[in-house]
Amino acid sequence: MVWSAPKELAIFPEEEQRLKDGLPVSVADRKGLESPSKISELL
């Protein structure tokens, strides 16, 4: 059986990079990462 995480728990490439950079990743950041335009605002 394959367990699939809810979208809120998925690790986005941008989020993974933030973790590698030592930047905080919050639920708000995760929701923001769903929109490419918001990703640009975070960078």
Domain boundaries, the chain: 12-42
Express each pLDDT in 1-43 by its tens digit: 565 555 555 667 777 776 777 666 665 565 655 555 555 555 5
pLDDT of residue 17: 73
- Can you give the pTM of this predicted structure? 0.28
pLDDT of residue 35: 55
Rounded Cα distance, 23 and 43, in Å: 11
Residue 35 DSSP one-character state: S
pLDDT of residue 3: 56
pLDDT of residue 16: 74
Burial state string for 13-41 with b = 16 or more CB within 10 A and e = fewer than 16: ebbeebeeeeeebeeebbebbeeeeebee
pLDDT of residue 20: 72
Give ∠ CA 5-24-9 in degrees, rounded to 5: 5
